[in-house]
Structure 1
């Protein structure tokens, strides 16, 4: 459960202290699709001086959607987000989960923010490590999209103390 604390903290950072969750998206960002629930998000590294980016995970029944958003302005103190790309994810099993860049690296794309679909398994030292990664994406900032990457060389891990 502790592996989700960073995701929750990142999501809360997107919400102003006096705001409501629906306001955090800004008035111009569309709400989640009908039947979908916003289950988390994370800010992504951008280029210095460039726009801010965020990725939001939506649960739509048995499927997940990963939506890439760019900050396009402000509405008072609230950021206004515009969706620039998304991928729809089918989970091969209930144990598979979307693993976020805070925990994932790719040996082929060492400087990229990497998302993966896999399972986390507890290790003897109390840490967690990904297993059975079936799909992976990197945040391609130049093209503002989520690009599919090979799963070979993708590793997601969480220290036991996190």
Structure 2
């Protein structure tokens, strides 16, 4: 169990991957799906001068949804989000997790935010690297959609200092 504790801590550190995750948890309008619970939220970098974007991971029964959102207004201090695209995620095993763009990059799409479905494994130096990545998506802000991408050339990493 002592070996799994650092892995759990590292995965928990991935949840608010791109700072200001609480900003990404404003009001969603309209709801992406009834009966869903938000697991995590990630602020995404958009185009300069354009609207703000975020992604939310929603648990809907046994399914997971990754929802791309655009900020469409404010409700007091909280942003109001509109869902503009979503993908349904099927985890091949309970150990697979949705790896956040703050730790993932793709050599094919170096400028885009990338989500991956895989596992983080502790390395001898205390860092964590992705393993068994089975699916990945990039956020295409210009087209306001998420697109599946090949997993080759993709790496998710967490250094011991992070």
Length-normalised TM-score, structure 2:
0.87
User: Contact conserved, 1:62 with 1:91, CA < 8 A, in 2?
Assistant: no
Matches within 5 A, 1:12-91: 12-14=22-24, 24-25=26-27, 29-31=29-31, 33-91=33-91
Closer, same or farther: CA 96–6 of 1 in aligned 2, 3 Å: closer
Matches within 5 A, 1:88-107: 88-107=88-107
* 1:4 matches 2:12: yes
Distance 2:96 2:10 in 1: 17
Distance 1:35 1:97 in 2: 21
C-alpha displacement at 1:4, in angstroms? 2.9
Q: CA RMSD in A?
A: 1.6
C-alpha displacement at 1:32, in angstroms? 5.5
Aligned residues: 152
Structure 1 spans left out of the alignment, 5+ residues: 16-23
User: Contact conserved, 1:98 with 1:115, CA < 8 A, in 2?
Assistant: yes
Structure 2 spans left out of the alignment, 5+ residues: 1-8
Length-normalised TM-score, structure 1:
0.87
